[in-house]
Amino acid sequence: MNIQEYFYLVFSDYTLRTITLGTAILGAVTGMLGSFAVLRKQSLLGDAISHAALPGIAISFLITGAKDSNTLLLGALVSGLIGTFWIRGIITKTHLKSDTALGLILSLFFGFGMLLLTFIQKQPNANQAGLDKYLFGQAATLIESDVWMMAIVTGLCLFVLLLFWKEFKILLFDKDYAKTLGFNTKTIDVLITSFIVLAIVLGLQTVGVVLMSAMLLAPAAAARQWTNSLAKMVFLAALFGACSGVFGTAISASQNNLSTGPVIVIVAAVFVFISFVFSPSRGLLFKQIRFIKNRRDLELHKTLAFMYGIAETHENISHPHEIKILNNFQGFTKGTLKKLVEKKYVIIKGTTWSLTNEGFKSASNLYNQLTQQDE
Amino acid sequence: MSSAQFEIQLIASLVAIACAIPGTFLVLRKMAMISDAISHSILPGIVVGFFITQDLNSPLLILLAAITGVITVVLVEYIQKTGLVKEDTAIGLVFPVLFSVGVIMIAKNANDVHLDVDAVLLGELAFAPFDRLLISEVDVGPKSLWVIGIILMITITLLIAFFKELKLSTFDKGLAASLGFSPAIIHYGLMSVSSITTVGAFDAVGAILVVALMIAPSASAYLLTKNLKKMLFLSIVFGVFSAISGYWFANWLDASIAGSITTLLGLLFLAIYLFAPNKGIIAVLYREKQQRTEVSLLTFLLHLKNHDEVSERHVNHLNEHINWQKVRAKTVLDLAIKNNMIVIDNNIVSLTSKGNTFTSQAIDYIITNEDAQIEDMKDDFFLFRG
């Protein structure tokens, strides 16, 4: 299937259009809220919540006996919230640390959910098949009303986010300051956590319990590398999330036997990888380049300082010296010598070098200049 | 009880013990979420191993999967070291990706492989007794019993051999390093044992529920004791208890054994979380309330010491002045009288000599910034606590 065909299908085929739209919206909203989770150091909360949502789905099925995805997600929301607040209770009231609390709630709720699911499967009610799609997610089961639901929630998120922007921001970076300014930090905290839970619950149907945490984290972690501004980061994360959704769907649609959820996660991971390596300010590649450049500069300075030390002992600073005597010195390479010549600090004649006036001056100011720059 | 039932319970108990031992150290080292990451990311290792061996219980598969587990830890630490993201984000990024790779590998080869994600993640203990190990045509027991038995033996041997090193490096990394025990070796040793245990147990209880068996018993035990040996012992007891009772619960409900073991672990943790003598939520809340009353009492006594005038020491005036609710004021007054700190004469409150010494000492401690000493002082002076 070539790209043109695919584009044609996206607009004409109901299923593909719905899934593409759904995953794009999902990616955007999880990326947006994920930024807050990552910055609040609650990255693994998403993992815990998505697992904790499982018993809610099972219980709401047991109560209603119907497979309406909205009621099931409501159940998931409630049990996700219970899980979140229990985690908080464990962390604040006991000496158990946050990782233990997260792991506890994650595994215990999930196990309980599994118990309920297997219990449901043994029930005579024939309607129960397909509940396990929430485990691994099946984007193919998305229908238009689900996408509308996602769009509405995303709109709501965006609205609340814009409305409480400065409150969220200040809570994120300086909680104590927010408190002294008189903001009710607890309410804001609960609000943002609830929205994170909501976004996770929405994604369960598409990417499933296990991979949901990556949807939350990956776009935000990628976006973090490109900017230091919260607004830009949230925007970029939403963009990365939406792109991973669209590309992931496209790749999984073009091949047989490829479930959408894992492909989306891998696409998001590729975004993270690219950001980690190629981001201009924080990326590993540029960091390495800067590192090498700095080392070269340092070597240049070292050579110059060494030359200065020699030239100082002579009355005539331009007195020629053999290049050989530089060899004992670590900072010296042919490259640095050439560079010094280019800068007109040094003149080379045959096998000798001599410092120019300019070179002498800048060498004597070497450390003064550096300290001035530091200030 | 048939022999299959007995074998299931035996396997479940062995898994519980094998998980509880590394789990205790993971909880103490604040690395509980690593076990979650490992349990997910061993999937590609299992899949590759399965392609090669076609047997879920072969040693090669266990080895490959365990290596994947260790790779996960290394990757997490590498990403963390770059300083681009925090540790928890690094964990959260690595394991879903590895897990996705595993899922895709299974999906692409779904037609010729008898392995599906459900089986790996959720496991089915009920089928464990049917996969027998035959040595020269003689039936020596279920395969998973042997696998987990061997892993448990190794774990226990390592635990006994390196107990003091583990203990030391868990509680004081710096001291351990300066005494010459390499923290890296102990760290990766623990990680390897956790990986191997996870792999050995996933067949029986499923990868995710291994996490429950690792964390929940140790977390429950941690709420009850501060002694490492007792904690290990308690978490093993909790694990085995929930394994056996979970089996019968599942039997009664006709549902997943692993799920019901976890549910019982959850109930156990909930009970301990609520009722643990010192660290339980009820004890904590009670202590907080007690502290609040006692701090109020101290404030009140200080107020009395500061004011000699009769008007400042009238009961009603105290109500208005310190701005306490009636009930609270009454609690504080009652507590003070019970402890012989004050006497009330004609609605005028005055300090007794005992109250006076208590208050002067408290002031000394507060001025010299040794507030913690006040707790000990309370033990000396108080007949009744708040």
* Tens-place pLDDT, residues B128-152: 777 777 777 777 778 888 888 999 9
Alpha carbons A234 and A173: distance in angstroms, whole number: 15
pLDDT tier for residue B27 given thresholds of 50, 70 and 90: very high
At residue A374, the pLDDT reads: 42
Contact residues, chain A, for B253 at CB < 8 Å? 115, 119
Average pLDDT over residues A288-293: 90
Burial of B130 (0-12, 13-18, 19+ CB in 10 A): exposed
* A262: chain B residues, CB-CB within 8 Å: 99-101, 103-104, 107
Give me the pLDDT at residue B237, please. Answer: 96
- The predicted pLDDT at position A272 comes to 93
pLDDT value for A241:
94
Q: How confident is the model at residue B113 (pLDDT cuts 50, 70, 90)?
A: low
Of residues B80 and A11, more confidence is placed in B80
The domain over range A3-281 is classified in CATH as 3.30.450.20: no
Q: Which residue of A has its CA nearest to B284?
A: A93
Gap between the Cα atoms of A27 and A273, Å rounded? 17
Q: Which of A63-67, A220-224, B5-9 has the highest mean pLDDT?
A: A220-224
CA dist., res. B12 & res. B125, Å (int): 8
Within 343-382 of B, beta carbons closer than 8 Å to A belong to none
| Residues 6+ positions from B154 with CB-CB distance below 8 Å | B193, B196
Contact B221, B24 (CB under 8 A): yes
* Helix ranges, chain A (H): 3-12, 14-39, 45-52, 54-64, 69-93, 98-121, 133-136, 144-163, 165-173, 175-180, 185-224, 230-254, 260-278, 284-312, 334-342, 357-364, 366-374
Residues of A in contact with B260 (CB under 8 A): 115
A:179-198 residues touching chain B, CB 8 A cutoff: none
Q: So where are chain A's domains?
A: 3-281, 285-374
| A363 band by pLDDT with thresholds 50, 70 and 90 | confident
> CB distance B85–A221 less than 8 Å?
yes
Alpha helices in B228-352 (DSSP H): 228-253, 257-275, 281-306, 315-321, 326-338
CB of B108 within 8 Å of a chain A CB? The answer is: yes
Which residues in A lie closer than 8 A to residue B281 (C-beta atoms)? 89, 93-94
Q: Which residues of A touch B33 (CB under 8 A)?
A: 44, 47, 99, 102-103
Residue A373 reports pLDDT greater than 60:
no
From the CA of B243, how many Å to the nearest CA of chain A?
13
| Token pair for A132 | 């396990």
Q: Which CATH class is domain A285-374?
A: mainly alpha
Residues B108, A258: C-beta atoms closer than 8 Å: yes
Residue A364 in tokens: 């004597």
Summarised one tens digit per residue, pLDDT across range A169-203 is 988 888 889 889 888 888 888 888 888 888 888 88
The answer to whether B76 and B94 are in contact (CB under 8 A) is yes
Domains and CATH numbers, chain B: 3-279 (1.10.3470.10), 287-381 (1.10.10.10)
pLDDT in tens, B318-340: 667 666 777 777 888 888 888 88
* Region B94-109 average pLDDT: 86
| Surface of A (274-313) touching B: CB under 8 A | 276, 282, 284
Q: Choose between A169 and A325: higher pLDDT.
A: A169
Measured distance CA(B181)–CA(B199) in Å, rounded: 28
- Judged by a CB distance cut-off of 8 A, whether residue B122 touches chain A is yes
Please tell me if residue A129 touches chain B, with a CB cutoff of 8 Å. no
Question: Is there a contact between B91 and A43 if contact means CB atoms under 8 Å apart?
Answer: yes
**Mean pLDDT, all residues of chain A:** 83
What residues of B are in contact with residue A269 (Cβ under 8 Å)? 93, 96-97, 100
Listed by number, the residues of chain A in 59-98 with a beta carbon closer than 8 Å to a beta carbon of chain B are 89-90, 93-97
How big is the A-B interface in CB pairs under 8 Å?
197
DSSP string, B138-149: EEEEEHHHHHHH
pTM: predicted TM-score of the whole model, two decimal places: 0.84
pLDDT by residue (tens digit) across B164-191? 889 998 888 889 889 888 888 888 999 9
The token pair that represents A140 in the structure block: 């193919």
Position A375 confidence tier, pLDDT thresholds 50, 70, 90? very low
Residue A254 near residue A45, CB atoms below 8 Å:
no
Measured between beta carbons, the chain B residues lying within 8 angstroms of A206 are none
Burial of B363 (0-12, 13-18, 19+ CB in 10 A): middle
Interface test with A, best of B76, B93, B208, B214 (most A CBs within 10 A): B93
* Neighbour tally for B211: CB within 10 Å: 32
Report yes or no: B211 and A44 within 8 Å, Cβ to Cβ.
no
Q: Which of B25, B29, B43, B104 is most worth mutating to test chain A (most A CB atoms within 10 A of its CB)?
A: B104
Comparing B117 with A231, the larger pLDDT belongs to: A231
